[in-house]
Structure 1
Amino acid sequence: MKLALYLPNFRDEVTLKELEDLTALAEDRDFDSVWTLDRICVPESSDRGELQYPFGMMSDLPNALPVVARGKWFQGMTLIPWLAAKTQKVRIGMSIIDTPYRSPGVLAAELATQDHLSGGRLNVGVGSGWMPEEFAAASVPQLFPRRHGHVRETIEIMQGIWSNELFEYHGEFADFPPSGFGHKPVQQPPPIYFSGLKDPKRSAKRIAKYGLQGWIGIQDSPEDIKRWKGEMERELGELGRGFPDGFDMCSMIWFVITDEPMDQTPAGKATNLLAGSAQQIEDILKRYKEAGMTMPLLWPPFRDVPTAKTIDDIKRLTEEIMPKVNAA
Structure 2
Amino acid sequence: MKLALYLPNFRDEVTVKELEDLTALAEDLDFDSVWTLDRVIVPEKSDRAEMEYPFGMMDGLPNGLPVISRGKWFQGWPLIPWLAAKTTKLRIGMSITNTPFRGPAVLATELATVDHLSGGRLNVGVGSGWMPEEFAAASVAHLFPRRHAHVRDTLEIMQGIWNNDLYEHHSEFADFELSGFGHKPLQDPLPIYFSGLKDPKRSAKRIAKYGLNGWIGIQDSPEDIRRWKGEMERELNELGREFPADFQMCSMIWTVITDEPLDQSDNGKVTNLLAGTAQQIEDRLKAYKEAGMTMPLIWPPFRDVPTSKTMDDLKRITEEIMPKVNAS
- Under a length normalisation based on structure 2, what TM-score does the superposition of the two structures give? 0.99
Q: Which runs of 5+ in 2 are unaligned?
A: none
Structure 1 residue 35 corresponds to structure 2 residue 44: no
Structure 1 residue aligned with 2:204: 204
* Aligned amino acid, residue 135 of structure 2: F
Once the two structures are overlaid, the 10-residue window that deviates more, 215-224 or 172-181, is 172-181
Structure 1 residue 118 corresponds to structure 2 residue 118: yes
Structure 2 residue aligned with 1:173: 173
Instruction: State percent identity of aligned pairs.
Output: 81
Structure 1 residue aligned with 2:67: 67
Post-superposition offset of 1:327: 0.1
Structure 1 residue aligned with 2:109: 109
Post-superposition offset of 1:224: 0.3
Instruction: Give the 5 Å matches for 1:174-323.
Output: 174-323=174-323
Post-superposition offset of 1:197: 4.8
Structure 1 residue aligned with 2:5: 5
Q: Distance in 1 between matches of 2:312 and 2:278?
A: 12
SS across alignment from 1:60: coil
User: RMSD of the TM alignment (CA)?
Assistant: 0.7
- Under a length normalisation based on structure 1, what TM-score does the superposition of the two structures give? 0.99
How big is each residue's C-alpha offset from its partner over 1:71-127, in whole Å with a ceiling of 9 and x where there is no partner? 111110000000000000100000000000000010001111110110000000000
SS across alignment from 2:240: coil
Post-superposition offset of 1:200: 2.3
Q: Which runs of 5+ in 1 are unaligned?
A: none
* Preserved contact between residue 5 and residue 299 of structure 2 (Cα < 8 Å): yes
* Preserved contact between residue 11 and residue 73 of structure 2 (Cα < 8 Å): yes
Structure 1 residue aligned with 2:87: 87
* Aligned amino acid, residue 165 of structure 1: D
Q: Distance in 2 between matches of 1:131 and 1:239?
A: 31
Q: Distance in 2 between matches of 1:13 and 1:202?
A: 35
Q: Distance in 2 between matches of 1:95 and 1:101?
A: 14
SS across alignment from 2:96: strand
* Aligned amino acid, residue 202 of structure 1: R
How big is each residue's C-alpha offset from its partner over 1:234-271, in whole Å with a ceiling of 9 and x where there is no partner? 11111111000000000000000000000111111000
Q: Distance in 1 between matches of 2:310 and 2:284?
A: 19
Q: Distance in 1 between matches of 2:49 and 2:215?
A: 29
Post-superposition offset of 1:144: 0.4
How big is each residue's C-alpha offset from its partner over 1:12-49, in whole Å with a ceiling of 9 and x where there is no partner? 11001100000001111111100000001111111111
* Preserved contact between residue 168 and residue 176 of structure 2 (Cα < 8 Å): yes
SS across alignment from 2:67: coil
* Preserved contact between residue 161 and residue 167 of structure 2 (Cα < 8 Å): yes
The size of the alignment, in residue pairs, is 328
